[in-house]
Structure 1
């Protein structure tokens, strides 16, 4: 209970599983007491996941090129075409990194890169099919709507044809990449050459219709307003409503596992180094945590909510587990894009499990579709591989021949 009856009523309805409007979500985000907001969000989590399980993943983000024509102002990773520091990895190097990932327990790879002016649908068909042929056990959770639009434009084909072809080649799931901020004003300010937010949603809708589920993301802290943050999740929820209404999923929204359309929502914070925005605006930890809680209350049709410890830090990531989060993301054996902009947070498998367990949750290793591969009910169930540690951004460079590992202690 709070001193505001209107806020009390909204929190109670959301905690009970009722739908809240964007206007109500904005009121909660700006005015609800932090503890009441968090308690309501955690109530939703407990009802959806009564076993108290929090999941994690082992994966590797492999970048095939840093050449990009989009030139987003927040990006420190890309290089313009013909830039002396531009590169594209040969297929054998990508496959070598996939093999390393499997040796360390990865079940998923995220193949991502810039909008290379010569990479059309055929390039991605050869990329995905080569990975699937060499490592059929790896799930390919990769690219995003921006890359799909770009490849379709390069080859002069429709969005639907591009999606159908890359799915047939081996793409298992679409990443939420390229969402950043979907509303028009902030999107044009930080990525003027990128597709509109409405176009991003359109590509996701076509992908869902063709049997590809996905994740959804949001980047906070580049000067967007509170109302624009809420508008971003409104656009995603409406897209998910369409997927559910049209039966693109073969499982009910109420289940705790796979949901058609968007499986999970993953907000993260802008990183200020080595890019044109230069950190003039950023999101505070409290803004992030409040938004996490509001997102759990708002997304009555998206099963999972993931904390981004990579951008906010492990302490904030662990605190988010008390605000509605049920997934702590991954031990990323390689990550270069956000790291290039200053994300310094690293972890290892033992520490990630410790973060979950000391938050009074049960750790569980999952796959791409949130199926539990192993639940660590007790410490005796915990993995013992000390090699599984998170990334060094320098392995993006072509002359890096081996995966650098550190002492997990």
Structure 2
């Protein structure tokens, strides 16, 4: 068994850790030692000292969901008094507000609705693309795409192809949680297994669609499960994946059936750093200010992150669990400058829109 010091030195020289190495780093590694290693890798990959963000809006088109994940405080039954499906005009108004502030990314996500089929999404996406051609439609999770396919009696490939033709530009990595089925059965038993998630992402990449990968940790998983998740993302990318970024974020326990406690700041930073160390084939690591707040996101820039995600004019899912961090574009730029970096607004595909 290699010592932590030997392992860190070898990784710094270009050695790629295996699962056993990564688990030892996560459990026994010193926080600052891991952070320094991840930071050196980030600086090597992104030597321009630039931290990016995207101006986006997360529109939750429905809160009706059959999955009823135990960690989620947002979903509602179809008969619930506060259940909703947004009307098209409401959605268009929200996108108009996004465009008015220079936004470029639309993130539409909802629940696994039992009745919304492919035609509903095709009409909506076609209308969005006609009205707002400058906006990247970065929407739906693998679980939602699988649900749409099942409701419409299509294969995932057919559903994805039709959604792309209607105006879906890229697929975000929501619903990944932990890519270990034992954990998924505990926290989201009605949602697709990890291989189902992977199949959608593989097919999206095959169709030429950019994707992202996420990880929600701090619920019931072990350190070994976290390591397995990160390696499964790496292996999917090696097998022709199109992940532009990896976004680890922490479970928020408020108002949820699952309850428990959220991960600590130290745990978050160690996982973030390990992500940058292991995912040598994913270009960008994103800090989660939505769950961590501005100050921790600033620290994360020295633990491997080179991107702060979206300004999010609207966010409802994490907020439903009692987490209400907000940030304007000016605050985002100030945060980045305060940490000693150059700040730039980017597109979904990491093209620079404007430097600040």
What SS is found at the alignment partner of 1:86? coil
Aligned to 2:76: 79
Count, aligned residues = 356
Q: State how 1:152-301 maps to structure 2 within 5 Å.
A: 152-243=149-240, 261-278=242-259, 280-301=260-281
Contact 2:272 2:300 in 1 (8 A): yes
| Displacement of 1:5 | 5.9
Deviation at 1:12, TM superposition (A): 2.6
2:11 and 2:173 mapped to 1: Cα distance?
25
Q: Does 1:364 align with 2:354?
A: no
Alignment of 1:54 with 2:34, yes or no, is: no
| Cα distance, 1:8 vs structure 2 | 2.3
Q: How far apart are the structure 1 equivalents of 2:92 and 2:169?
A: 17
Aligned with 1:38 (options 35, 49, 66): 35
Contact kept in structure 2, 1:144 and 1:178, CA below 8 Å: yes
- 2:287 matched residue in structure 1: 307
Report the Cα distance in structure 2 between the residues aligned to 1:264 and 1:12, rounded to whole angstroms.
26
Output the aligned Cα RMSD: 1.2
CA distance in 1, matches of 2:36, 2:132: 43
For each residue in 1:341-382, what CA deviation from the matched residue of structure 2 results, as whole angstroms up to 9, or x when unmatched? 111211222221111111111111101001111122xxxxxx
Q: Distance in 2 between matches of 1:17 and 1:54?
A: 24
Give me the TM-score of the superposition, normalised by structure 1. 0.85
Q: Is the 8 A contact 1:15 1:297 kept in 2?
A: no
Deviates more, 1:96-105 or 1:18-27: 18-27
Give yes or no for contact 2:59–2:108 (8 Å, CA) kept in 1: yes
- In 1, the alpha carbon distance for the partners of 2:290 and 2:60 equals 18
Higher RCO (CA-CA < 8 Å; seq separation 6+)? 2
Q: Which runs of 5+ in 2 are unaligned?
A: none
Asked if the contact 2:31–2:266 (Cα under 8 Å) also holds between the matched residues in 1, the reply is: no
8 Å Cα contact 2:318/2:324 also seen in 1 = no
Please give the alpha-carbon distance, in whole angstroms, between the structure 1 residues aligned to 2:328 and 2:145: 33
| Structure 1 pair 5–227 and aligned structure 2 pair: CA distance change class (3 A) | closer
Alignment of 1:371-390 (within 5 A): 371-376=351-356
Which of 20, 24, 46 is the equivalent residue of 1:23? 20
The alpha carbon displacement at 1:15 in A equals: 2.7
> 5+ unaligned residues in a row in structure 1: which ranges?
244-259, 377-409
Q: Is the 8 A contact 2:104 2:134 kept in 1?
A: yes
Residue by residue, what CA displacement relative to the aligned partner does 1:29-66 show, whole Å, maximum 9, x if unpaired? Answer: 11112222111111111111111100011100011111
Q: Secondary structure at the match of 1:218?
A: strand
Residue of structure 2 equivalent to 1:397: none
